[in-house]
Amino acid sequence: MTINTKEFREEGMEKLGIANLRPQQEAPMEAILNNEDVIVLMPTSGGKSLLYQLPAVMEPGSLTLVISPLKALQLDQVESLRSKGIRAAVLNSDLSAAEHRDVLEDMTEHGGLLYLAPEQLRSPAVAEALQSCPILTRIAVDEAHILPQAKDDFRKAYGKIGSFIDSLSLHPQVIALTATATRKDVARIRKSLNIDNASLFRTPMRRDNLHLYIKRIDSSGKTRNGKCSQSIEHTLFQSVERELSKWDEHGAVIIYCPTVKLVKRLCKWLKARDYPVGKYHGKMNHVKRKAAQQAFMNGKKPIIAATNAFGLGIDKPDVRLIIHAGLPLSMDGYVQEVGRAGRDGRKSRCVLFYTKSDFDRNKRILSQSGGRKAVARRLKRLNALHSLVDSRKCLWRVIEKYFGEKLQKKCRKCCRCKLKTD
């Protein structure tokens, strides 16, 4: 008996609290319910998680494995599912040995949605339990754009997911999901997961409510002898504050900084000017990071200065302003980060400030580890962002070209379009 019926779908959506599928969810959902392997490219906030949650709810007693890189995201989704009476659990290193064993036994026997990081698959106990599990129906690989980067010493465990899937006695359905992937990335995802015949579903990356701006920061205040009376950093902070002065305190603000040092200095600078700002970076302990995230999410500190460690799994619909206080490390990272703005569909502003030296700094960072090919791949992603910064064309069209999408008309809203139309 097939589960892909109107009755089962409606019941499942009711349990999840979903009235209707979004247009971009319809086609991939149909393929998934027909048991096809799929690769789904959908912008942040597009509703990717529903694509594996709904089939799992429609098929009680089956096990859906959700491989996700972030513990916080796993916990948030599990908490949300449990609040709706849906079986879900997390398998992570925070559990005691007994708790870990109990969760694994319960989920492999009774089914539900089991969330874990790819590193968990290295455990012989986990691998053996899943390999012999007759109810393991599907595997969802979230943030699949990491797969092409696994060879570059970034979350190497992602590169082992394909071999784990091949080791299973019963081949499950595979669902690969990401917000950003080039055509070459898609090919690498297929190869890594051994899903050559997977159907590809690509939602256009452009979001018309996001207005993109790029501004170069130079030192100012030249004295008569040619020396700068004001540092580039000070000029950058002033530029950030000018953007914040346009913020009407309705909605939230994320300020991305390239280094932990800059996060700390900018946060201190803004606090001295009475802005409700928090900070978030990878060197903070788990408790402090969680507290900073909660303060941002509940609006107590609606501005957060952060490194790129902040963002994955953050689903706050009313982010009105994204500021990059420095050049990100890649085009992919930039698009992921601006995609966290305006998830409610309302107009939002995304401003990238950069300095002349940013590119050289990022080049040095990306060249510090890995082999020649790995460094070359990283630099290619950085060079793409550098081309965006230098381009005089519509920014959205440059992004579309990079990701291999069909070019749409000029957006008429980004800073490059306005230069030609104003």
Provide mean pLDDT across the span 237-253. Answer: 90
Give the contacts of 242 (CB within 8 A, at least 6 positions apart).
none
User: Would the CATH topology of 6-202 be identical to that of 210-421?
Assistant: yes
pLDDT score of 6: 75
pLDDT score of 3: 56
Q: Can you tell me the distance from the alpha carbon of 2 to that of 5, in angstroms, rounded to the nearest whole number?
A: 7
pLDDT > 70 in the chain, percent: 94
Q: Can you tell me the distance from the alpha carbon of 170 to that of 167, in angstroms, rounded to the nearest whole number?
A: 9
Kindly tell me if the per-residue pLDDT of 364 is higher than 70. Answer: yes
Confidence of residue 230 (pLDDT cuts 50, 70, 90): low
Q: Which residues pair with residue 116 across a beta bridge? A: 67, 91
pLDDT score of 69: 87
Question: Which pTM value belongs to this model?
Answer: 0.85
DSSP at 146: G
Confidence of residue 224 (pLDDT cuts 50, 70, 90): very low
Q: Where are the domains of the chain?
A: 6-202, 210-421
DSSP at 153: T
Range from 30-39, 87-96, 230-239, 312-321 carrying the lowest mean pLDDT: 312-321
- The C-alpha R_g of the chain, in whole angstroms, comes to 22
Residue among 53, 40, 66, 46 nearest 12 (CA): 53
Instruction: Tell me the per-residue pLDDT of 179-201, one tens digit each, with 9 for 90 and over.
Output: 889 999 999 999 999 999 999 99
pLDDT score of 420: 61
Instruction: Tell me the per-residue pLDDT of 275-316, one tens digit each, with 9 for 90 and over.
Output: 999 999 989 988 898 899 999 999 999 999 999 888 766 778
Q: In this structure, how many other beta carbons lie within 10 angstroms of the beta carbon of residue 65?
A: 27
Fold of domain 6-202: Rossmann fold (3.40.50)
Residue among 119, 114, 84, 118 nearest 102 (CA): 114
Indicate the angle between helix axes 358-366 and 372-390, nearest 10 degrees: 160
Q: Where in 231-290 does DSSP place strands (E)?
A: 252-256, 277-280
Homologous superfamily of 210-421: P-loop containing nucleotide triphosphate hydrolases (3.40.50.300)
DSSP at 143: S
pLDDT score of 296: 95
Question: In this structure, are residues 223 and 363 in contact, taking their beta carbons and an 8 Å threshold?
Answer: no
Kindly tell me if the per-residue pLDDT of 18 is higher than 60. Answer: yes
Provide mean pLDDT across the span 150-159. Answer: 73
Q: In this structure, how many other beta carbons lie within 10 angstroms of the beta carbon of residue 22?
A: 13
pLDDT score of 286: 81
C-alpha pair distances (Å), 357 with each of 217, 282, 306: 10, 24, 20
pLDDT score of 223: 40
User: How many residues are there in the chain?
Assistant: 422
pLDDT score of 422: 42
Provide mean pLDDT across the span 30-56. Answer: 92
